[in-house]
Each structure stands twice: as C-alpha cells, then as structure tokens.
Chains A and B, each alone.
Chain A
Amino acid sequence: MDRREFLRQVALWSAGLSVGVPHFTIGEALAADDRLPLLAHATGKNYRDLVDRVLSPLGGMEKFVRPSDKVVVKPNIGWDRNPAQAANTHPQVVRVLVERALDAGAGEVLVFDRTCNEERRCYVNSGIQEALAGIKDKRLKLFHPDERKYIPVDIERGKAVRRLDIYRDALEADSYINVPVAKHHGLSRLTMGLKNSMGVLGGTRGAMHHNLGQKLADLATVIRPRLTVIDATRILLANGPQGGNLDDVRVLDTVIASVDPVAADAYATTLFGLKPEEIESTVAAYKLGLGEMDLKKIRVVQA
C-alpha cells in the first residue's frame, strides 16, 4: 500500500478535483510480522497510572506518536450512558491517552465518535467531554463528526463490503489510536477494537450488521490503528452494547494494549470467559492476515 498515494487521492476527492473514489490497496506490508506480537496487560485502581503502566512495555507513547503527528484518539462514545454503566470508554483512560499524545509532541490530537444516541448527550453523559475539557491545550480537538467529511473508499481487500464512507480525519491521521471499551453485544457477542472502528463510518451503518464479522475485518484493512488500548476497567456482561443496568457491569480495573489489533481483541475476549474463535470479527481479521488470534502466539506482559 502506498499511503502517500492514497492520501493524495483522498485530498483530490475532497477538493472535488477527482471523481475517482480513493482506492485502498494493501500489499505485502500487511503480512503478519513473524515476531510474536506483544500485548501489555495491567490492573489497578488508579486509572491514570494504569494507562501509563500498560504503555511502558510497548515503549511508551513516544513509540506511537512522533512530533507534529496528526493523532486520532478514537474512543467509544456511542451511547447516552454514564461511565459506571460501561457502555462507553472510561473518560480517564481517554484523557490520559490524549495527554500522553500531547506530551509526545503531537501536532494535533483529534477525538470523536459517530454516536448511536444523540451526539451531544453521548459526549456529555459519557464523561469524556468533561474529562477532556480539563486539558487546556489548543492542539486537542473534541468534535462531532462533520457530515461533509465522509469520503467513499474502495476496499480492495474486502470480502463482504466493497466500499465504505470513512471519516477523513481517520484516513489522514499519522497515528490512529483505537480506545474501545470491551463489552457485550447481542449480534457479535462482544464489541472491542474492530467493532469500535465503526465509529468512523458514515452512511447507514445498520447494513454492516449483515455479515458483521467479515465486514469489520474488511474495515480493519483500511482503519489500521498504530495502537489499540482496550478499556476493561469495567466490562458489560449483558444487555450490551448500551447496557444501563449496573448488575450487568463487572469492575475489572484492567487495561490492555497492543500494536496488533487482532491480538488485542483476542486477548480481551478471554476476560469474558470466551475464546477468540467465538468472535467472528477476530477470526475474519486473522484470516485476512491483519493480526494474531492464537493466544499461544501472543506475548503477554503483565505491566
């Protein structure tokens, strides 16, 4: 894949100078690294400290954010639910990641999600808007997606979906950091990193539900996070993805992180007592060569 060529296409399409839909072709670069993917796992009550700890075995945020990078931190802010209800990424986890990206010298840090409930309510009730308001830095931008900025992208490697409308900033980011919350989901059983990428899609997302696992894997060929941090500080065990009943929530005080998006999802699955093979999107992404799902081949470091 020639990222520069792809970004050129995105820019031309956005400026109305090209009618050709940007292509996203994935070449050999995608083939799984032959080294065992590293996954950091940390537990603790202090969530600020927890995030720092989980990043350290991976080399810290400096490994993922270079000075003046355009960084996207993509939490799950999908639902009009409060932090205790475990439907959205924990605001403190998001906040620390944003702070570390800023510390690493990011040119700008963008935080957004396309919500399922009313946008403003989700941003407020999730606690993320308030948590980020505490960061006084002009490089940080928390915003609601702008309808004009979805770009149709041809997904060359897609097996179930050929074209998706994807948010421009997600495509253009130098460093895309995926920060899902791990939780129950009726259709896909669990929603973690790969499912969280649906937040950068425009159009009618309901159609994704038909053959969801494969479509999420197809999307993962384009949205390729440099880092996946899965928030399992508390997890939702039933009535997901939005929950609402605190009896369905279990506090685990856990955060995991990996460069490998498939490994992160595969490992997070075990927190629910499930096996990676039981999650269709994990299997589909593994088969596409997007990462490792075999737990024996993932190096887990307790941070």
Chain B
Amino acid sequence: MKNKKKIPLYYWRRLSQLACLALFFFLFIRTDYSGSDTIEYAVNILFRIDPLLALSASLAAGFFILLMLPAVATVLLTLILGRFFCGWICPMGTLLDGCRTMAPHTGTGKERRYRPLKFYLLGFLLVGAWFGLPMAGYFDPFSILVRGLALAVDPALHAMATTFFTYTYQEAPAWVNGVTEPVYAFLKATILPFSQKYYDLAMLSLGILLLVFLLERVERRFFCRNICPLGALFAVTARFSLLRGKAGASCGKCRNCREVCRMGAIDEERNISPLDCNLCLDCIHQCPGNKISFQFSRLSQGRAAFALSRRNFVGSLALGALLPFFLKSRTLARQSDEFLIRPPGALPEEEFVGRCVRCGECMKVCIGNGLQPAFLQGGLEGMFSPILKARTGYCEYNCTLCGQVCPSGAIRKLGAEEKKKQKIGNASFDRDRCLPYAKGIPCIVCEEHCPTPDKAIKFREVAVENSRGEKVTVKQPYLMDALCIGCGICETKCPLPGASAVMVTSGGESRNPAKALPDTGTAWQVI
C-alpha cells in the first residue's frame, strides 16, 4: 500500500529516542524509597545492558557477572543492527541531539583526528580492569550522566524549587499561593526528590557532564565519535554487523548526506562506515536522488578499517597493563584510609572497586544521604565509588536499597536481617569534645539514636565536676564494639557544631577479617 505521506523512517528513530529517554528519567526518579522495602522496578537496567561495564566489571571479577547478562543481548543486537544503540536508545546521545540547537557546533564536522581516541581508551580500560585499575566508570556515558544528574542536577532542582516556593510562600499574597502551593505539591509528588541531599564531588560530576555537552561545540556528537568507550565497543562489534547503509556509487556533488551525518560516518566517496554510523537514518531523506538505503548484507562483505596507529594502540594496552602495578607502590596499598567506609554488603575492597561501575545509583537511593562519592580516599581507581560519610548522613538500619540498585553486585543484595548483621565500621568517642566527658553536660543523643536492639552505645552514670565547678551526675557514653554495625547515625546526630564527638571508622568491618577488633573475636569473620 503506497501512502503518499509515508512516515519518514527517522521519525521512528526519534520516537524510540524519546521513549527511551522518558523511560530513563522515569527509572531515575524511581531510584528512591517508595514506601516499600524493595524497589519494584529494575531501576538499574540501563547499567545492566551496557556491555562496556559488563565486560570491565567481569574482567575485574574474573568471571562473568550474571547480573549483567542483559548486556549480551545488546551485543547480539549490535551484531545485527550495528551501532543502533547510540542512535536509537542511548539517553546521553538523545540529550546531546536535543541540545544541538542550544550549542551549535562550530567545527567542520569532518574532524577525523580524534576518531581513534575511543579505541585506545577502550583498550586501556579493559586491560586496566583486568590488571586491577578499574576506570571504565569514569568514561562510561551512563555513569557520567547518572552521576551528574544524581549528585548535582537533582539536588539543585530541589534547591531551586524550595527557594522559589519559599519565596512565594513567605512574600506573595494568598491568591498567588492558591496557585503556587498546588503546583509545588504536584512537583513534589512527581519529579522533585523527596528531600534536599548533599553530595561530595557534586561540582566535579556536573563539570564532567557539562564538558560532554560543551564538546558539541566542536562537532556534533563529539563525545560519541571520539571518546565514548562504549561507543568504541559497539563500533568494534558493528564491524561485523549485518545491517549496513549503502549510498549510490554514482551520484552528484551535493554531499547532503555528509553534511547531515551526526556521526561523520560518510566519507568523500559516500561509503557509510558501520564503525561510526548510528543508524539515525537522516541521510536517507536528505539524498535528493534517493540513493541511500539500509539493507541486510552478507557476512562476506568488506570490513571497515579502524584507522588506528598500531603503536598508540599497543601503547594504551601496555599502559593499562603496567599502571596497576604502580598502584601497589602507594601507602594505600598497605594501609587503607580509615574513613573508607563501604556500604553494607560491599565486597572485599579490591573486588568491590573492580566491580563498582561508578553509576551513582547507590548514592541516589541512599535515604540517609550517607553514601557519598569518594575522591581519593580509595586511590585513583576508587573515585566516585560510594563511601559512608557519617557526618553528612547515616546508613538507615532497616534499609537495604543500595544493594538492590547496584547493577554489578559490587554491593551485594542483602535481606533485611542479614543487612543488620553487616558491620561496616566502628564508632569511637573523642572524650575531649564529647559533652558529658569534656564539660560535664548531659547529652547522649548518640545513645538515643543507636539503632541496634541491644544498643551498641551504652552509658555509665558518673559524678563529675562540670565546667562551672558544680558536682553533677552525667551519663557518659561508651561503645560495645561487638554490637556496633558502623551505621554512623551517632556521628550524624551528634549535636556538637563542626566535627562530631563520636566518629565512625572502617575498623572492624566484617568484609575484611584482618580488621577485626580485639573484643569482637571472630563473631563476624568469614570462615
């Protein structure tokens, strides 16, 4: 049936992009507590269909991580369809396409110099992951996107909304509030995060995300063409793909297809490179002679060249293999940072860092705002991995969400009762600052909040002289190491300004038997 106004193919692509983007934002917002102890949606699915992260985490783990099995489907589809993922699904790509009009590119769009970068990066990252320097999450587009959104954009959105609606609430007349308050309530119920959260590296995460967008100024999809290691992995796979774009051998001089190609995939002779083409299908409609088509072809066709410098590629592989050994020369290799407190269920450190894809999902979902991205506490290879910063927030006793959203199993999924037995650290008191010790002032807010049914923080009633020279009886807190799970609520709630008088360190964490404390025996050691 021939329809005069047939829907152009690229409409379907756009529809797919918008649908995937909408799904992405829906799942992002749903990465939160919703009244149930379990998250009903596979909010981490984006990271589990990502073959770069699956490969990198699996290489680091030494076996294939089953949780990331969906990534195999992506690879199989790429073998058939080429880099369709970049053009039809990737939310980062969609956002870059969407922002095109805001940041029009200034370059010629035919810059090929940086093209091989992504392949070098891919080689470096995979070899590095294998040898013990897991950095794929630093460059993975989804990790960059979700980190930027979760750590910076989402909290900023909350701040903007509260600032505006506080202003209207306090300053505007009643009739204005009659409109603004329902709007605020609606936003709170839909897109706004439940509460204001605060994150380390918020600005860095935002900066990296913005940089990806700023590079659009150089050429369209600069990140996708030149940097994205996931795109590189798709390109390697797409070299064998069945669906190929074909341009007419003899055509005029219009070059429309080259101008419109967002990936710079079409060369002077109008060959469409499957390494770059993301099947956006724009060129089909730009060709005045209708000479471009996409067809399934036989496997025996010619393979596109990577145009890599062998020396550079071998160099990047060597770097990935050698750099990890330099990590062993740091003091960190002997003595880990005592504030490197990992979420409950985190694997032993080396495995944990290897499998952590730096997606930020656990920090987004942490209802206590306790999980923060590490900067250098875990070394160069541990940036953006989650640590508990107990002064900012704490690990909620009954909550198991971080293990549920972790896409790579770096944080194990724990049952509620199992979680309560995970010791992630141990608290200790600074008696020079703790009020009942230092000033003879009653307090024990820490004891009040201590969540273990048999409280890990206990107190002794002691007669002391306070700073006014009066004899008073105060309750002085002390810790039962064997009961403390390191949740950090004591440190969060300590009412002293500045540093807390009770502080959690990673000593005694159950994932590392070598850190067992004297009076805890072998109660939680893994046998």
Spell out A's residues near B (CB within 8 Å): 14-16, 80, 116-121, 124-125, 129, 147-148, 185-187, 204, 206-207, 209-212, 239, 241-245, 248
State the CA gap A186–B443 with chains docked (Å).
10
* Chain B hits for A125, CB < 8 A: 398
- Chain A, residue nearest B195 (CB): A119
16 extra A-B contacts, CB within 8 A, seeds A209-B444, A239-B453, A241-B448: A15-B170, A16-B170, A80-B396, A117-B396, A121-B33, A148-B162, A148-B166, A186-B447, A186-B459, A187-B443, A187-B444, A206-B493, A209-B442, A209-B445, A242-B448, A243-B453
From B435, B449, B453, B495, give the contact of A245 (CB < 8 A): B453
Shortest CB distance A268–B (Å): 19
Pick the residue among A116, A147, A248 that contacts B162 (CB under 8 A): A147
Give the distance to chain A from B261, nearest Cβ to Cβ, in Å: 48
B105 neighbours in A (Cβ, 8 Å): none
Contact of A117 among B397, B453, B455 (CB under 8 A): B397
| Nearest B residue to A248, CB-CB | B453
Q: In the bound complex, do residue B170 and residue A206 qualify as a contact, i.e. CB atoms below 8 Å apart? A: no
Q: Contact between A120 and B170 (Cβ–Cβ < 8 Å)?
A: no
Bound form: Cα–Cα A124–B36 in Å: 8
Q: B397 to chain A: which residues have CB within 8 Å? A: 80, 117
Decide if A121 touches B495 in the complex (CB within 8 Å).
Answer: no
Q: Give 25 CB contacts A-B under 8 Å.
A: A16-B171, A80-B398, A116-B493, A117-B397, A117-B451, A120-B194, A120-B367, A124-B35, A148-B170, A186-B447, A186-B455, A204-B495, A206-B443, A206-B445, A206-B494, A206-B495, A207-B495, A209-B448, A209-B495, A210-B435, A239-B455, A242-B451, A243-B453, A244-B452, A245-B454
- Measured between beta carbons, the chain B residues less than 8 angstroms from A243 are 453
Partner among A118, A209, A210 whose Cβ is within 8 Å of the Cβ of B367: A118
- Do A187 and B396 touch (CB < 8 A)? no
CB-based contact B455/A187 at 8 Å: no
For residue A143, give the distance in angstroms from its CB to the closest CB of chain B: 10
Q: Could you tell me how many residues of chain B have their Cβ less than 8 Å away from some Cβ of chain A? A: 35
Nearest-neighbor residue (CB-CB) of A82 within chain B: B398
**Contact, CB under 8 Å: A116 / B449:** yes
Asked whether A210 lies within 8 Å of B442 as measured between CB atoms, the reply is yes
User: Which B residues lie at the A interface, using CB under 8 A?
Assistant: 33, 35, 162, 165-166, 169-171, 194-195, 367-368, 396-399, 435, 441-445, 447-449, 451-455, 459, 475, 493-495
- Nearest residue (CB) in B for A187 is B444
Which partner residue on chain A sits nearest B449 by CB separation? Answer: A116
What are the residues of chain B within 8 A of A117 when measuring CB–CB?
396-397, 451
Distance from B85 Cβ to chain A, minimum over Cβ atoms (Å): 36
Q: Is the CB of B441 within 8 A of A210?
A: yes
Minimum CB–CB distance from B400 to chain A (whole Å) comes to 12
Q: Is the CB of A209 within 8 A of B443?
A: yes
What A residues does B441 contact at CB under 8 A?
A: 210
Nearest CB on B from A142, distance (A): 13
In the complex, A111→B453 CA distance in Å? 28
Q: How far is the CB of B420 from chain A (nearest CB, A)?
A: 9
Which A residues are CB-close (under 8 A) to B166? Answer: 147-148
Among B398, B448, B451, B455, find the residue whose CB has the most chain A CB atoms closer than 10 A: B448
Are A118 and B33 in contact (CB-based, < 8 A)?
Answer: yes
Once bound together, how far apart are the Cα atoms of A118 and B195, in whole Å?
A: 10
CB-CB < 8 A to B451: which residues of A? Answer: 117, 242, 244
Q: Is the CB of B398 within 8 A of A121?
A: yes
* Complex Cα–Cα for A210 and B495 (A): 10
Q: How far is the CA of A11 from the CA of B444 in the complex (A)?
A: 36
Residues in chain A near residue B194, CB distance under 8 A: 119-120
A235 CB to nearest B CB, Å: 16
Q: With CB as the reference atom, state the residue of chain B lying closest to A79.
A: B451
Complex CA distance for A204 and B500, rounded to whole angstroms:
14
Report the Cα distance A147→B195, complex, angstroms: 10
Closest residue of B by beta carbon distance from A242: B451
Chain B residue at minimal CB-CB distance from A212: B442
- Tell me the complex Cα distance, A124–B367, Å: 14
Considering the chains assembled together, what is the distance between the CA atoms of A239 and B169 in angstroms? 41
> A118 contacts which chain B residues (CB < 8 A)?
33, 367-368, 396, 399
Chain B residues near A241 (CB, 8 Å)?
448
Query: B368 to chain A: which residues have CB within 8 Å?
Result: 118
Chain A residues whose CB sits within 8 angstroms of the CB of B449 once the complex forms: 116, 242
Query: Do B396 and A121 touch across chains, with their CB atoms under 8 A apart?
Result: yes
Chain B minimum-CB-distance residue to A130? B35
A197–B427 CA distance with the chains assembled, in angstroms:
30
Shortest C-beta distance, B477 to chain A (Å), equals 9
Q: Among B169, B399, B443, which residue has its beta carbon within 8 angstroms of that of A210?
A: B443
Chain A residues with CB below 8 A from B445, complex form: 206, 209
Q: How far is the CB of B450 from chain A (nearest CB, A)?
A: 8
Q: How far is the CA of A118 from the CA of B442 in the complex (A)?
A: 25
Q: How far is the CB of B399 from chain A (nearest CB, A)?
A: 7
Chain B residues positioned under 8 Å from A80 (CB to CB): 396-398
Task: Tell me the bound Cα distance from A242 to B453 in angstroms.
Answer: 8
Q: Which residue of A lies closest to B396 (CB)?
A: A118
Contact B169 A148 (CB under 8 A): yes
When the two chains form their complex, are residues A187 and B442 in contact, meaning their CB atoms are under 8 A apart? yes
CA distance A116 to B446 in the complex (A): 12
- List of 10 A-B pairs having minimum Cβ-Cβ separation, nearest first: A206-B495, A244-B453, A245-B453, A206-B445, A16-B170, A118-B367, A186-B447, A148-B166, A209-B443, A80-B398
Cβ contacts under 8 Å, A210 to chain B: 435, 441-443
| Cβ–Cβ < 8 Å partners of B33 in chain A | 118, 120-121
Q: A244–B455 Cα gap in the complex (Å)? A: 9
> Would you call A121 and B399 a contact (CB within 8 A)?
yes
The residue of chain A having its C-beta at the shortest distance from the C-beta of B393 within the complex is: A118
Q: Which of these, B169, B442, B448, contacts A185 with CB under 8 Å?
A: B448
Per the bound structure, the CA–CA distance linking A125 and B33 in Å amounts to 13
Q: How far is the CA of A129 from the CA of B35 in the complex (A)?
A: 10
Q: Specify the chain A residue showing the minimal Cβ separation from B458.
A: A186
Rounded to whole angstroms, the CA-CA distance of A302 and B453 in the bound complex is 34
A147 to B170, CA, bound (A): 12
Chain A residues whose CB sits within 8 angstroms of the CB of B475 once the complex forms: 186-187
Most buried by B among A147, A185, A244: A244
Contacts of A209 in B (CB 8 A): 442-445, 448, 495
Contacts of B442 in A (CB 8 A): 187, 209-212
